[in-house]
Chain A
């Protein structure tokens, strides 16, 4: 079974629109870590955020915000007032305290149209 599900394969928005990227995870561990990475067209992987399972506080960083809800096993990512530079593939990922593996979702390709 997929441990991290990103159901949205591709999303297109017009510049300045808000967009939310969904991430649903599955784990039996009580301690785990969730991540978001960005992969721009140039191909490198850029770390965006890490949350541990004990910290459900939402995080805001500029135009980016993350909503962590353990009740629904979701860790969604919202970009406010999207810009063309936000066009990228975004990956959600999970690691469990009990193990040492790292699980990525299949990614969401975001295109921001000027």
Chain B
């Protein structure tokens, strides 16, 4: 089954404790992206990747890192999480660039205390 998976689905952590949210797709998609969803703000793009070793900032990259060492994986790293990073995070992938239908993961709800 074609899908985007994210782990963990739920995470409660404390300020400053480094964490990684994994994202994996099995569709051989070139484009992958991370979004955060906050009430009243919709979805905002954090980082995206056009292909392996190619990443770029979206609208809200501060406080986040990503890497794309393999085509299928695109982890999101919060090196020192803060409460304002409490949010619902979605990973997505699409066939090429960002101009096609994006397939979204189920979401990761992160709470930073």
Q: Which residues of A contact B (CB under 8 A)?
A: 6, 9, 33, 35, 43-45, 47, 50, 91, 93, 95, 97, 100-107
Bound-state Cα–Cα, A105 to B40, Å: 10
Q: 4 nearest interchain CB pairs?
A: A106-B42, A45-B104, A104-B43, A95-B98
Number of A-B contacts (CB under 8 A): 57
Bound-state Cα–Cα, A33 to B56, Å: 20
Can you sample 6 A-B contacts with CB below 8 Å? A35-B102, A44-B107, A100-B31, A100-B98, A102-B48, A102-B58
Question: Given contacts A50-B100, A104-B45, could you give 7 more A-B pairs where the C-beta distance is less than 8 Å?
Answer: A9-B40, A35-B102, A43-B106, A93-B43, A101-B59, A101-B98, A102-B58
B66 part of interface (Cβ distance < 8 Å): no
Q: Which residues of B contact A (CB under 8 A)?
A: 31, 33, 35, 40-45, 48, 50, 56, 58-59, 88, 90, 92, 97-104, 106-107
A104 touching B98 by the CB < 8 A rule? no
Checking A33, A47, A50, A91 against B42 with a beta-carbon cut-off of 8 angstroms, the contacting residue is A91
Q: Which residues of A contact B99 (CB under 8 A)?
A: 33, 95, 97
Bound-state Cα–Cα, A33 to B101, Å: 10
Residue of A nearest to B44 (CB): A104
| Contacts A101-B58, A104-B35, A106-B40 given; does A47 touch B102 at CB 8 Å | yes
Q: Which residues of B contact A104 (CB under 8 A)?
A: 35, 42-45
Bound-state Cα–Cα, A105 to B104, Å: 16
A103 touching B45 by the CB < 8 A rule? yes
A45 touching B45 by the CB < 8 A rule? no
Q: Which residues of B contact A93 (CB under 8 A)?
A: 43
Most chain-A CB neighbours within 10 Å: which of B41, B50, B104, B106?
B104
